[in-house]
């Protein structure tokens, strides 16, 4: 099933870039699975419209308001949306052609928006949040450290809240580097390498305040400051970097943040998703909240000993002491950070997204009652067309074969079933078999009833196999002329071994 997915998120000089950036990470993964992903965003000062397009995603541009709102404070989330939540939902609900899934990442969007959009499209909704607000979503993702699912009041009784850093939405490059950092040296050089990154906007110019303190150190750390050209104080930071080029390098943008972080020993930065990126590669940090909603992250990171938090207004007073403490506690803090996040959050989230849509598709073990149904499918010309054995068996031969298969303690014989959401009735629509060939190694066979061709059933069934048998090695043999099935296994994560053989390694 190729899903039509729309992500509703904004970036601006008030909001920052974090919501769009983590949506892009999830969008990349969804696109990799073959889904169609589109962004719905409101163009405004400080947006990332061009960047989203450069990343290969189409954009639906929401209408611009007659009068632009200026948030009264960092918690004036209603002003972030620039229109009322109702108006935003109404515009969104009339703009698209039956999306399967809508993902929101916006502090101005909550339960009212979700209800209106769900009613309009009868779609699934995922809310990415950090604020423990009320949602009418099917899945809530809150990557905040120490957050518990019980903190969320779920309006949808069947909804699930995924909480904590195990669901951190960070680029897969971080998970790839996590293992190597676990065995890397845990000592600090005499002159540490420091990465300074206060987010994409840094409206209060915390970057320059930090640099003013660092320059007073007799032997300042070799520092890289990351600040893009859309930041309001970009010019002042650039000028400072030119004057202090002996120990300071300024870069506007980096494609591979994971590698950049691994090239540094310590960090100073804003909390948010970047906190989990730093943790994943073991980068101890001083964190400075730039908005009220970041205070919880600061408090929790400091509570577990992963970071040192200082107030924005106290940078000149407290940063030097915090820096000295960071150097002293480096080894301990690095170890704690590596334990906080393994970078597998998106992979875990994808399993839950699959379950959202495969809830109506299940694999149940076959019984003798299924013998005649399976035989009827086996006799179909569409089924035999790409079968490795083209001969149609007699009913007696089929019954003997299937009875033997059902009795096997090493093999798995599943019936694929779809559940009707209206009356909860189940309909058998195909077969998946796993035949054991060695310890923890199986060969897979799958066929779908012709009436259900082209409905994404096989793809969802393979996802269910991943959920049921994540630790097994699974081989598939697909005739080269069966191009649809070859594409199916490739998209499902099976590696092509040769012209007709595919292998899926353990997924956990």
Same domain, 152 and 203: no
Q: Which domain holds residue 375?
A: 359-504
- pLDDT tens, 263-314? 999 999 999 889 999 999 999 999 999 988 899 999 999 999 999 999 999 9
For residue 187, the model assigns a pLDDT of: 85
Across 328-347, average pLDDT: 96
| pLDDT band at residue 33 using 50, 70 and 90 as cut-offs | confident
Same domain, 211 and 283: yes
- Residue 316 gets the label, from left (phi > 0), alpha (psi -120 to 50) or beta, of alpha
For residue 508, the model assigns a pLDDT of: 62
- Give the length of the chain: 508
Across 353-366, average pLDDT: 82
Q: Is the dihedral of CA 475, 478, 485, 496 positive or negative?
A: positive
Same domain, 390 and 485: yes
**For residue 82, which of 72, 70, 94, 73 has the smallest C-alpha distance?**
70
Query: Residues 359, 360, 363, CA angle at the centre, nearest 5°?
Result: 80
The token pair at 93 is: 């609900």
**For residue 144, which of 124, 122, 123, 162 has the smallest C-alpha distance?**
162
Q: Which of 326, 353, 380 is the last residue of a domain?
A: 353
- pLDDT tens, 200-258? 889 999 999 999 999 999 999 999 999 999 899 999 999 999 999 999 999 999 989 99
Same domain, 16 and 139: yes
Taking the C-alpha atoms of residue 253 and residue 479, their distance in angstroms, rounded to an integer, is 46
How are strands ordered across the β-sheet holding 160-163? 58-61, 36-41, 4-9, 101-105, 124-128, 139-142, 160-163
Q: What CATH number is associated with residue 334?
A: 3.40.50.2000
- pLDDT tens, 62-104? 999 999 999 999 899 999 999 999 999 999 999 998 899 999 9
Same domain, 204 and 130: no
Across 344-361, average pLDDT: 84
Q: What CATH number is associated with residue 427?
A: 3.40.630.30
Residue 339 burial class via C-beta count within 10 angstroms: exposed 0-12, middle 13-18, buried 19 and up: middle
Taking the C-alpha atoms of residue 48 and residue 54, their distance in angstroms, rounded to an integer, is 10
Please list, in sequence order, all residues whose beta carbon lies within 8 angstroms of the beta carbon of residue 204, skipping any fewer than 6 positions away. 290, 312
Phi/psi for 39 (5° steps) reads -100, 135
For residue 436, the model assigns a pLDDT of: 96
Residue 12 is classified by DSSP as: B
- Three-state SS string over 289-339 comes to CCCHHHHHHHHHHHHCCCEEEECHHHHHHHHHHHHHHHHHCHHHHHHHHHH
Across 353-364, average pLDDT: 80
Same domain, 366 and 336: no
Please list, in sequence order, all residues whose beta carbon lies within 8 angstroms of the beta carbon of residue 322, skipping any fewer than 6 positions away. 286, 308, 310
For residue 20, the model assigns a pLDDT of: 97
**Is the predicted pLDDT of residue 421 greater than 60, yes or no?**
no
Taking the C-alpha atoms of residue 134 and residue 81, their distance in angstroms, rounded to an integer, is 17
Residue 14 is classified by DSSP as: T
**How distant, in Å, are the alpha carbons of 106, 191, 473 from that of 249?**
33, 15, 47
Note whether 406 and 413 are within 8 A (CB). yes
For residue 2, the model assigns a pLDDT of: 74
For residue 358, the model assigns a pLDDT of: 63
Same domain, 162 and 205: no
Same domain, 377 and 401: yes
**Is the predicted pLDDT of residue 262 greater than 80, yes or no?**
yes
How are strands ordered across the β-sheet holding 307-310? 248-251, 222-226, 193-197, 266-269, 285-288, 307-310
For residue 491, the model assigns a pLDDT of: 84
Same domain, 313 and 257: yes
For residue 110, the model assigns a pLDDT of: 96
Q: What CATH number is associated with residue 39?
A: 3.40.50.11190
Higher pLDDT: 183 or 90? It is 90
Taking the C-alpha atoms of residue 56 and residue 459, their distance in angstroms, rounded to an integer, is 24
Note whether 242 and 279 are within 8 A (CB). no
The token pair at 298 is: 């600061």
Note whether 106 and 8 are within 8 A (CB). yes
* Average confidence score pLDDT of the chain: 93
For residue 254, the model assigns a pLDDT of: 93
Taking the C-alpha atoms of residue 292 and residue 290, their distance in angstroms, rounded to an integer, is 7
Same domain, 437 and 495: yes
| pLDDT band at residue 435 using 50, 70 and 90 as cut-offs | very high
Q: Which of 353, 384, 405 is the last residue of a domain?
A: 353
Note whether 503 and 495 are within 8 A (CB). yes
Q: Which of 324, 353, 382 is the last residue of a domain?
A: 353
Percent of the chain residues topping a pLDDT of 70: 98
Query: Residues 412, 416, 420, CA angle at the centre, nearest 5°?
Result: 150
Taking the C-alpha atoms of residue 163 and residue 152, their distance in angstroms, rounded to an integer, is 10
Same domain, 129 and 248: no
How many structural domains compose the chain? Answer: 3
- pLDDT tens, 491-502? 888 999 999 999
Same domain, 400 and 283: no
């Amino acid at each position: 099933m190729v899903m039509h997915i729309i992500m509703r998120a904004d970036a601006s000089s008030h909001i920052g870039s974090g919501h769009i950036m983590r949506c892009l990470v999830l969008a990349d993964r969804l696109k990799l699975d073959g889904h169609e992903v589109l962004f719905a965003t409101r163009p405004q000062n400080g947006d990332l419209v061009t960047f989203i397009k450069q990343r290969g995603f189409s954009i639906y541009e929401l209408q611009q308001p007659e009068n632009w709102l200026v948030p009264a404070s960092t918690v004036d989330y209603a002003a972030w949306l620039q229109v009322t939540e109702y108006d935003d939902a109404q515009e969104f609900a009339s703009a698209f052609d039956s999306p399967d899934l809508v993902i929101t990442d916006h502090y101005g969007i909550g339960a009212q928006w979700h209800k209106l959009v769900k009613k309009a499209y009868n779609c699934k909704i995922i809310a990415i949040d950090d604020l423990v607000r009320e949602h009418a979503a099917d899945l809530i993702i809150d990557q905040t450290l120490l957050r518990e699912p019980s903190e969320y009041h779920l309006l949808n009784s069947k909804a699930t809240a995924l909480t904590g850093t195990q669901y951190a939405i960070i680029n897969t490059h971080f998970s790839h580097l996590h293992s190597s950092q676990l065995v890397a040296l845990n000592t600090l050089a005499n002159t540490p390498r420091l990465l300074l990154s206060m987010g994409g906007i840094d409206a209060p110019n915390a970057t320059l305040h930090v640099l003013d303190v660092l320059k007073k150190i007799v032997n300042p750390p070799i520092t890289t400051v990351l600040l893009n050209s859309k930041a309001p104080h970009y010019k002042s930071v650039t000028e400072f970097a030119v004057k202090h080029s002996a120990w300071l390098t300024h870069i506007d943008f980096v494609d591979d943040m994971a590698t950049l972080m691994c090239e540094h020993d310590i960090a100073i930065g804003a909390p948010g998703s970047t906190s989990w990126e730093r943790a994943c590669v073991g980068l101890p940090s001083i964190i400075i909240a730039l908005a009220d909603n970041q205070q919880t992250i600061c408090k929790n990171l400091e509570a577990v000993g992963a970071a040192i938090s200082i107030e924005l207004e106290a940078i000149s007073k407290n940063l030097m002491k915090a820096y000295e403490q960071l150097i002293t506690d480096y080894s301990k803090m690095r170890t704690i950070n590596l334990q906080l996040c393994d970078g597998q959050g998106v992979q875990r989230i994808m399993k839950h997204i699959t379950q959202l849509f495969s809830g109506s598709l299940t694999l149940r073990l076959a019984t003798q009652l299924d013998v005649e149904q399976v035989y009827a499918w086996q006799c179909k010309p569409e089924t035999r067309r790409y079968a490795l054995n083209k001969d149609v068996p007699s009913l007696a031969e089929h019954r003997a074969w299937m009875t033997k298969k059902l009795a096997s303690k090493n093999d798995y014989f599943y019936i694929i079933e779809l559940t009707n959401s209206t009356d909860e009735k189940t309909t058998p629509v195909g077969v998946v078999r796993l035949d054991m060939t060695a310890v923890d190694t199986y060969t897979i066979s799958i066929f779908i009833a012709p009436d259900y061709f082209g409905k994404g059933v096989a793809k969802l069934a393979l996802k269910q196999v991943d959920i049921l048998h994540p630790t097994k090695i699974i081989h598939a043999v697909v005739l080269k002329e069966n191009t649809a099935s070859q594409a199916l296994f490739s998209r499902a994560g099976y590696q092509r071994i040769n012209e007709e053989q595919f292998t899926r390694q353990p997924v956990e």
